[in-house]
Structure 1
Amino acid sequence: MSTEALHQSVSDDAQPERARREWDFRLSTVVSPPSSTASDASDVIGAVEIDQSDRLLATAGIARKIRIYTLAGLLPSDADLRHSSACDFYICAPAKLSSLRFRPGSGSRVIAAGDYDGVVTEYDLDRRTSISERDEHGGRRVWSVDYSPAGDMAASGSDNGAARIWDTRCPAEGTVVHNGISPVCCVEFDGADCGPLIALGCADRNAYVYDLRAVGAGPVSAFGGHARTVTYVRFVGGGRMLSSGTDGAHRMWEARGEREIRAYRGHKSGRSFVGMGLWRKGGLIGCGSETNEVFVYDLRWGEPIWVKSFGRAGAGFASAVCWCGGRDGSGGGDDCMLIAGGSDGVLQIFSGRRNSCRNIN
């Protein structure tokens, strides 16, 4: 969905049922966790990331491993469901992992990980070893890491209430952007068109936007519509951003105006991080739910357009999600994949395709 189309559609009164018929999703691949061992008390997936080329898939979590997959190798060659359990390789980390991000401009060969010991580590995937470490959060859990679109800056948010940014080209200590008393659960640089901004989601129930040209001046926007912790933030484009909270709602805002445009409800998130991903080209939100289901929302409507069981009810929940373009390689907004990792260590890939207009009128 283009930015222009989004501007038009957010005020439309079209029925959500049309959007439900507009998209078809199906389960393509199930990747089971490796057999548990005495050293792996849990295999909860806390982060799922795809590189900029939509070629490499990475997961991480409680098991202290970054697992790397070639995405094409996970997809079935026909319409049949594919099952797998093996990754291409993995890198052992010294602590439980909460977040991952591929570094832009590195040719998908560098990935950053935030861990429960408060350290952000960059790993070289060719050498399968760490190349830098930053321990600037006082040993408190790092919830989120992100890179600027050019890869020259990085950011982290932590349980110690601070968000930091730093220049990835030098080892100097990072700059504190936000220093509150509540944990910073998510950080994201503007990868759309709002400007040189960074957004934060915090346990004080607020989301904040800072201008990188004047971080010392305080936030340019503060969004207080959530009733509980803000767990995820995403820039939409067109001057808008999304936030997600443990109040069971996603909310879309004007990034610089603090006006709420729309709330999205249907999934359940009362105490858990259930993942939230935005596919800008198609105008879709994906997330998990404590009901052990995966939800998809269209940005134009507040109700979900697709809901799918992630497994047996009560047996866990989807804990991390991300989007990537479809396997047709067109780069358009009509073909996509939603990748979801679960609290049981299972990874599921759903293929989505937009129906032709004649099928939805």
Structure 2
Amino acid sequence: MSVEEEGMSLREWLWLKHDDDNNKIERLRMYTQVVELVDFAHSQGNPLPDLRLSNFLLLPSNQIIYFPSSSSSSSTRHYSSSSYHVTPELEKRWYAPCPHQEEEDDLFSANVYSLGILLFEILCCPFVSVEMHSAAISDLHNRILPPTFISHHPHEAGLCLWLLHPHPSSRPTTREILKSQLLSGTEDLYPQSTYSVIVDKSKDVEFEILLDFLVSLKEQKEKHALELHQYIQMLETDMNRFQHNNVSNMLQTRMKKYISQLETAYFSKRSQLQLSEAVSNERNDLDLLRNRERCPVQEKHVGYSDDFLNGICKFLRYSKFEVAGMSEMDNILNSANVICSLSFDRDENYIAAAGISKKIKIFEFATLLRDYVDVKYPVVELLNKSKLSCVCWNKYLKNCLASADYDGVIQVWDACTGQGLSHYTEHQRRAWCVDFSHVDPTQFASGSDDCSVKLWSLNNFSSCSSHMLAFGSADYKIRCYDLRHTRIPWCTLADHQKAVSYVKFSDSDSLVSASTDSTLKLWDLKKTSLEGTSTDACCMTYRGHRNEKNFVGLSVLDGYIACGSESNEVFAYHKSFPMPITSYKFGCSDSISGDESNGQFVSSVCWREKSNMIVAANSGGSVKVLKLV
């Protein structure tokens, strides 16, 4: 009888154990055997090729052996017909180091990286679907762990992040893994009062960042113990969930810089947990925003701590902007080069730029990234009769885009032929914006200085409902309408001190607005009221950029917010915290310091959804592709 006939792959074993919620110790024992096998091979000077879950077999004697030839057969039999199927090719992609990591010249260190993936799989498998499984592995390559994993396996999460360190030299050896208390003392790990985990002291680990914040805040609150006793109790409860190791002075300085803002956000999340989920005055109209049949299922956070952890990890994931490409328009000193609007096409292969030059210039995005090309020429140029204020590409119809201009004309274009398809002249004054619905590609709206929003097109649509429309106005307010009942606004939001220039839906329950009062605001639509103005719906105010008179752009993507500034800078925020993540100054090598140059300002920004890149343009006609790193 062959080895394969006598045993089963670890992937098959995990599937058979998927209903057992109390087998964590058994899974860690299996993982310890795997590490021992890899360690033995390393001690003989032989790294293991193709190290992945299906290449380890569990024999009837409960012994694990490395048998790479098993993957081709066992992968076809270890799931029932009702479960998803993991092919050898897919599994190999999961266990390959992430492309943006350092080159894996050291195969021994590459084995350790694969052990990090394997540890995550042993503790988490199986998933509901292969798509969710692949998404989790993709996040893992970026060292992003699910909040539920961190909550249920805090010790293992620290070890996992160490094994997946982007620098091979900073990963542990297999012998160091075996000597860790997590594996060497597996039987003593439970009861849960033990909090021993090996964390690399030199790496920027999300656990260390969050824990350093909690400890720093605890020290501050202990000075006022009598007055703040309740706060300290809250902090001590949460600190018990995380293992603390010393972090670098740089991280401590960075956390203390924003300690007051982080404190506010932390206790805000904390207090939300204590509030009843059932609000007596909640309106039935909220069903309009909670209708998510067309939206992907979103994972619910376990609690405030997971939500806060997710936010702080995303906030500190990036620290600066890096220029990935750029383009300078002709005659940079000419004021006619102000770019007022940017928009990507459906597939994000082309970007349209429009402004007061009366032209819509369409660039191939890939050409903007080529350093060896000094002058980037547009592939198509559309000529308009008047200065352009806004351009928007239809997200479903590839060649269809719309524009708004200073004469109040709304134009629909065929980007492929460069011809105008139709135009609308109902506005009496300058039209400032136009936007296609993200749900219904046939709907679009425009807003104008004539104090009207025309319903052939929408200023801004909710990406979760074809009925919701929101727009800002010069009276400092934001109005949301249900297009099925347009007699009165569905809600009116007020907290800005000056005119509202942009409104973007962040998700089905919230939107972001920009104003010339130099602030952005996040609004919770669950806290709005049909009667009167909703003044308590603002849940976050963002400050750092400068905006007093110009349109500087606003773009949102996956919780990240980008806007321009009259200091000629691009700013990035995360919705969880009121301070900017970073900024980039046009024409200045220092991304933080530097004064305004020649009165120029950033006039438009646009996230590229397929990457962590943003395209930004300023009033001097300069276009730059910036990458968050």
Asked if TM exceeds 0.5, the reply is yes
1:16–1:305 contact (8 Å) kept in structure 2: no
Q: CA deviation at 1:307?
A: 1.0
Distance 1:341 1:10 in 2: 36
Shift of 1:114: 0.1
Give the structure with higher Rg (CA): 2
CA offsets, 1:221-279, max 9 Å, x none?
11110000100001111411111100111111122533111111110001111111101
Select the residue among 52, 55, 76 that pairs with 2:346: 52
Q: Is the 8 A contact 1:34 1:85 kept in 2?
A: no
In the TM superposition, 1:219-234 aligns within 5 A as: 219-234=489-504
Residue type of the alignment partner of 1:199: A
Q: d(CA) in 2 for partners of 1:163 and 1:269?
A: 24
Residues 1:262 and 1:7: Cα distance change in structure 2 (over 3 Å): farther
Structure 2 equivalent of residue 190 of structure 1: 462
Q: Tell me whether 1:246 sits opposite 2:516 in the alignment.
A: yes
CA distance in 2, matches of 1:292, 1:152: 36
Name stretches of at least 5 consecutive residues in structure 2 with no aligned partner: 1-138, 140-297, 529-536, 589-595
- The one-character-per-residue Cα deviations of 1:7-34 (angstroms, maximum 9, x if unpaired) are 9589738996982454553111110002
- The one-letter code of the counterpart of 1:243 is S
1:189-243 CA-to-partner distances (Å, cap 9, x unmatched) read 111x356200001111001110111112x11111110000100001111411111
Residue 3 of structure 1: how far off its partner (Å): 7.1
Cα pair 2:368 2:376 within 8 Å, conserved: no
- Indicate the residue corresponding to 1:336 in structure 2: 612
Q: Pick from 607, 614, 618: which aligns with 1:323?
A: 607
**Contact 1:30 1:83 (8 Å CA) reproduced:** no
Instruction: Answer yes or no: is the 8 Å Cα contact 2:340–2:390 preserved in 1.
Output: yes
The aligned residue for residue 123 of structure 1 is: 413
Question: What are structure 1's unaligned runs of at least 5 residues?
Answer: 168-185, 327-334, 354-361
Q: Give the one of 185, 202, 205 matched to 2:473.
A: 202
Q: Deviations over 1:274-325 (max 9, x none)?
A: 1111012xx1000111111110001110100011112252330110100013
Which one has the bigger helix percentage?
2
CA distance in 2, matches of 1:53, 1:17: 29
**C-alpha separation in 2, matches of 1:69 and 1:7:** 44
- What one-letter code is carried by the residue in structure 2 that aligns with 1:12? F
Hey, what does 1:12 align to over in structure 2? 308
Once the two structures are superposed, the pairs formed by residues 147-162 of structure 1 within 5 Å of their partners are 147-149=436-438, 150-162=440-452
Residue matched to 1:34? 330
- What are the within-5 Å matches in structure 2 for residues 166-185 of structure 1? 166=456
The answer to whether the 8 Å contact 1:194/1:237 transfers is no
Tell me the TM-score normalised to structure 2 length.
0.47
Instruction: For 1:264, give the aligned amino acid.
Output: Y
Note closer, same or farther for the CA distance 1:156–1:6 as it changes in structure 2 (3 Å cut).
Answer: farther
What does residue 94 of structure 1 align with?
385
Counterpart secondary structure, 2:517: coil
Task: Give the conservation status (yes or no) of the 8 Å contact 2:380–2:415.
Answer: no
Tell me the equivalent position of 1:237.
507
Please tell me whether the aligned partners of residues 565 and 601 of structure 2 are also in contact (alpha carbons under 8 angstroms): yes
Identity %: 29
Aligned CA distance change for structure 1 residues 226 and 81 (closer, same or farther; 3 Å): farther
Partners of 1:145 and 1:123 in 2: CA distance: 13
Equivalent residue number for residue 422 of structure 2: 132
CA contact (8 A) 1:20 1:306 kept: no
Distance 1:14 1:126, change over 3 A: closer
CA distance in 2, matches of 1:240, 1:62: 32
Asked if residue 289 in structure 1 is aligned to residue 565 in structure 2, the reply is yes
TM-score, normalising length: structure 1: 0.81
Confirm whether residue 212 of structure 1 aligns to residue 212 of structure 2.
no
How many equivalent residue pairs? Answer: 316
The code of the aligned residue for 1:211 comes to D
2:597 corresponding residue in structure 1: 314
Counterparts of 2:352 and 2:390, CA distance in 1: 10
1:263 aligns with 2:541: yes
Change (3 A) 1:58 1:246: same
- Taking a change above 3 Å as real, the CA distance of residues 255 and 82 of structure 1, as seen in their structure-2 partners, is farther
Q: Is the 8 A contact 2:332 2:620 kept in 1?
A: no
